[in-house]
């Protein structure tokens, strides 16, 4: 005969049954290792279940079915001793400041405050969003805000890409990430130029200013699935781009004529957004598809 039990999980990751905290390490790990979503219409308020022989252990979480309660620098822990690898790009956060990470059940898991505080040492504002700053201090990994999945798209560096602007496979790459506004198609990225981009007198080298604009302008096309290398670019250097200061680089598609794509871009200082440091216009020519036959 099948027996049903109804467990609760609070937002601190404490599992309880009828008000009694479950503290058996073996059972806790067994419970979360076997936990899965259930579509049983009889118990909609208990959307997860752990089956153990003739027992059906249903779970009602206060927030998520897994709660991360520990972190060792490379893995996040839940249950008693279970863990998953930590990937900054799999972080997300709610409007009230709760931090989450991908989880094997439920899609994402709440991170308890003490662990979130530890992780927050690496989290900095990144434009209108937040980003996880890598240990090297040179790579910003954007964190997706929950509820904005239908309004923005985060374009992350690809691991097999050797691009000097946005590739992960190139050790000299800037590894830039971008945000695409899904309503108007405008591409944004934010950065603080560092010593790699040093020109003269504490300013960013003009070649890097051009690279930043070209890379961001190209993303306005590649995000639309258009493969088009740069044919011509004209950059106006209006003010020095200072090292260590925060800037926004943005671009947008102006017009198209056949295979010709006219794209515009600009760099603005975040400390004074009315201040345009540089702007550019470019022509990108779409690559012809290979002939069939």
266-277 residue pLDDT tens? 999 999 999 999
Residues 152 and 271 in one domain: yes
If asked whether residues 166 and 48 sit together in one domain, one would say no
List, for residues 28-84, the tens digit of each pLDDT value.
Answer: 999 999 999 987 777 789 999 999 888 899 999 999 999 999 999 999 999 999 999
148 Cβ neighbours under 8 A, 6+ residues apart: none
Are 69 and 152 in a shared domain? no
Residue 12 and residue 111 share a domain: yes
Alpha helices in the chain (DSSP H): 25-33, 113-120, 206-222
Which CATH number do you get for residue 244?
3.10.129.10
Residues 183 and 86 in one domain: no
pLDDT at 292 over 70: no
Q: Name the token pair of 148.
A: 């904005």
Sequence-distant (6+) residues with CB within 8 A of 77 are 68, 69, 70, 71, 83
Considering the domain architecture, whether residues 178 and 73 belong to the same structural domain is answered as no
97 with 168, same domain: the answer is no
**Is 121 contained in some domain?**
no
Where in the sequence is the domain holding 195, given as residue range(s)?
148-285
Q: Are residues 246 and 159 in the same domain?
A: yes
Does residue 268 sit within a domain?
Answer: yes
123 belongs to a structural domain? no
Enter the DSSP assignment of 29. H
Q: Are residues 95 and 152 in the same domain?
A: no
The per-residue pLDDT of the chain, averaged, comes to 92
The pLDDT tens digits for 99-145 are: 999 999 999 999 999 999 999 999 999 998 999 998 766 789 999 99
**Residue 292 lies inside a defined structural domain of this protein:** no
| Residue 291 pLDDT exceeds 70 | no
How many domains are there within the chain?
2
Q: How much is the average pLDDT of 229-244?
A: 96
Residue 56: closest CA among 19, 80, 31: 31
């Amino acid at each position: 005969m099948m027996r049903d039990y109804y467990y609760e999980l609070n937002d601190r990751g404490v599992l309880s049954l009828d008000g009694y905290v479950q503290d058996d390490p073996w059972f806790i790990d067994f419970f979360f290792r076997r936990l899965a979503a259930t579509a049983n219409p009889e118990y909609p308020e208990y959307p997860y279940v752990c089956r153990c022989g003739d027992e059906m252990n249903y779970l009602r979480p206060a927030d998520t079915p897994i709660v991360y309660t520990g972190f060792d620098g490379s893995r996040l822990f839940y249950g008693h001793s279970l863990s998953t690898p930590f990937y900054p790009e799999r972080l997300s956060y709610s409007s009230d400041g709760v931090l989450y990470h991908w989880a094997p059940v439920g899609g994402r898991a709440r991170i308890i405050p003490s662990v979130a505080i530890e992780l927050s040492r690496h989290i900095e504002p990144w434009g209108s969003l937040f980003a996880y700053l890598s240990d090297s201090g040179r790579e910003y990994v954007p964190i997706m805000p929950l509820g904005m999945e239908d309004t923005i798209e985060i374009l992350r560096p690809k691991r097999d890409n050797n691009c000097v602007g946005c590739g992960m496979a190139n050790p000299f790459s800037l590894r830039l990430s971008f945000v695409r506004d899904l309503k108007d198609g405008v591409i944004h990225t934010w950065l603080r130029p560092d010593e790699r981009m040093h020109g003269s007198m504490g300013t960013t080298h003009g070649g890097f200013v051009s690279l930043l604009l070209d890379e961001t302008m190209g993303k306005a096309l590649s995000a639309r699935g258009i493969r088009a290398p740069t044919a011509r670019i004209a950059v106006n250097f209006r003010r020095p781009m200072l090292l260590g200061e925060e800037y926004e680089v943005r671009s947008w598609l102006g017009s198209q004529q056949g295979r010709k794509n006219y794209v515009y871009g600009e760099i603005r200082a975040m400390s004074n957004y009315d201040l345009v440091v540089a702007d550019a216009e470019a022509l990108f020519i779409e690559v012809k598809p290979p002939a069939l036959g």
